[in-house]
A and B are shown apart, each in its own frame.
Chain A
């Protein structure tokens, strides 16, 4: 039994090591200064970089946060602090289903809701689709961490004559702040690598000067380059994968940094 479980544990770790090994090996050697500063070169020309896609991914993540964090966090607050058990059951059920909706479906939905009416792909549509995908993730983690705050703190605050919303914002949410931020960061890390929902929504072109213009993103650029027949593009795809991996890794390290215990509490 122990041997079997150990083997399974190794099976969990092995792909991570393999992915790391390959991406770092192939990606790091393909990195150069131009990769961060230049635009993609036209077909057949050597050189160029992913400056637009790197910027684009950050822009899209910022938009996604603007859309997903307020709705997700406040929805989680509702579930934990206000909702009735019957309504909560339905909201949770809906959120869990949304969490399982294939990401390409999200892309199609936002294509219909935004890209078609606006007559074109845009950075806005890309940000919205990632933000929508974040909502159920952020909502459920927020609810969970708020539920972990002992009821004694709520009672103590209410017994001091502090009104309910202030109790929630300044006592309960503050106590759970690390957990909420962790949930947000993990949701961002999750959508940072999404490709399918962006296929229909962002357009993946050059520099976007306005949010209504098409924008590039690292995962899309990787996709386009990886299926091309050019070695130079393959190298850039590896480099892009490396950067994306670093980004997700940085977010996860940020989570660890944020959740480390500052007070080393005894309780």
Chain B
């Protein structure tokens, strides 16, 4: 595959600036067998902003996140209804391959998972290399750029060829962020990216999220109320698979419209 074959957004670039939502979610439901994990969810996720998804365990927030890049389809029982548009493109359209969606929507997982057989730099470039990019100069450029964006460059620039698993837990998670950024996605999904890290590493990840929203649309699932309040611009509160409330983070945390939201963010349940 020639290196120009990496799919780019079909959306005109100006759409990001004019406030077209990065993701338009309409009546989205996700089922596992007979159970509905996400029920009839509709809202818009703004471009170049951080949207936090909060809610108690089992409320469907991770499933919702995985539906955005069609990762839930790895479960053969999964089925979805509704519509999800990424900068205007219907990602569930019949002619769209999940692989193409995932190149446009990157993901960072709860447990850092750098590939153990690869060096630091190989981990960063793996998404490009295994999609047919062979140009060494481009790979070197992109790996430095991604590591800088993930605030990891200064810590690893002298040992790029060391095994990735020689890094600390927090560094490994930032490496995973760099790996996701290297394929230049339009949206970055984060599934509790800091829940396994110590406070210092967590605050680095949060600073990073705030930095990254200049260029990326970020959707983050978190259990940590303070994290949602600190790092996000918008917050969606999920409960039992339903979207209870969505709005600017300040409003959700100070004057929520729904009683259940207030109870949750103030720690009365969950």
Task: Using CB atoms and an 8 Å cutoff, list the residues of chain A in contact with chain B.
Answer: 150, 152-163, 166-167, 170-171, 174-175, 177, 263, 265-267
Contact = CB atoms under 8 A, between A and B. Distances in A.
Given A155-B109, A160-B106, A160-B179, A166 B117 contact: no
A32 B71 CA distance: 64
A100 B43 CA distance: 59
Interface of B: 69, 71, 74, 99-104, 106-107, 109, 111, 113, 115-117, 126-127, 130-131, 163, 165-166, 176, 179-180, 183
The 5 closest A-B pairs by CB, nearest first: A161-B103, A160-B127, A152-B113, A159-B107, A161-B102
Residue from the set B106, B117, B127, B166 with the largest chain A CB neighbour count within 10 Å: B117
Interface of A is mostly: helix
Contacts, number: 77
A158 B102 contact: yes
B166 A263 contact: yes
B175 to A, nearest CB: 11
B100 to A, nearest CB: 7
Given A152-B111, A175-B117, A266-B165, 17 more contacts: A153-B115, A154-B74, A155-B109, A156-B115, A159-B69, A159-B180, A160-B103, A160-B106, A160-B180, A161-B101, A161-B102, A161-B104, A161-B183, A163-B99, A167-B130, A174-B117, A175-B116
A154 B106 CA distance: 14
Contacts of B103: 160-161
A144 B183 CA distance: 32
A162 B74 contact: no
Nearest to B127: A160
B111 A159 contact: no
Given A163-B99, A170-B130, A265-B116, A158 B71 contact: yes
Contacts of B74: 154-155, 158
A153 B113 contact: yes
Q: Which interface residue of B99, B101, B103, B183 has the most chain A CB atoms within 10 A?
A: B99
B165 A162 contact: no
Given A158-B102, A166-B130, A171 B163 contact: no
Contacts of B116: 153, 175, 263, 265, 267
A217 B196 CA distance: 57
A156 B69 CA distance: 12
B66 to A, nearest CB: 9
Nearest to B176: A156
Given A155-B71, A263-B163, A265-B163, A161 B115 contact: no
Contacts of B115: 153, 156-157, 171, 175
